[in-house]
Amino acid sequence: MKDTYMSSDTNMSSDTSSKKPKKPVLKAVAPFKKPSQAEAEAAVRTLIAWAGDNPNREGLIDTPKRVVNAYKEWFSGYDADPAAVLSRVFEDVSGYDDMVVLRSINVESHCEHHIAPFLGMAHVAYLPTDKVVGISKLAKVVEIFSKRLQTQETMTAQIATTIDDALKPRGTAIMIEAVHECMATRGVKQPNVATITTRFTGEFKTNPVLQERFLNLVQRG
């Protein structure tokens, strides 16, 4: 059985002053000149040489190009707008007012501290008011945020904020469980520790019964 570390940001700030906590950044901000493909490949060759190998030997000659192409896929979330994904909604819900839950959405992300993968599952729920969104769009929002350099805590909050802003639901619940390779393969080397983060807003935050229903539903998976 995996050990778990749980982090919850249902109370994001203990500051009692009038300052409001900043909302998570939903769009990628890049106030710099993006390097070219050639510059990125040169950087990879430098790292290979720094690691102690010859970037010009046969087995490594094409590695810089492969790495850069992999980065394009792993970090494709910077080119997507999660709010736009949720812009198309459906208002004919025939009076449905219970939670909508997506369980076990794959999460493949990279920690911003070591650029090491963290892999796991996200569970997403919301309580609709007068509109719903296509369920695949919720999975897409998770994917967009996961395809960026992240911390799991930030990503959990970003997903909840995006859903709240786009759908104006009565509440949102997010739970992510993931294993971080930066902890599993280096440092303390604990491969069996899973990190769990949660975020509850609206009625999910104020109603313990709803929280328990959500957690029971997702933990069945």
- Point out the residues that are catalytic: 111-114, 152, 180, 182
Q: Which residues pair with 119 in a beta bridge?
A: 108, 179
φ, ψ at 171 (rounded to 5°): 175, 160
Q: Which of 139, 133, 124, 137 is nearest to 91 (CA)?
A: 133
φ, ψ at 106 (rounded to 5°): -60, 135
As separate numbers, helices (DSSP H) first and strands (DSSP E) second, the chain gives: 8, 8
Q: What is the crossing angle of helices 152-167 and 135-146, to 10°?
A: 140
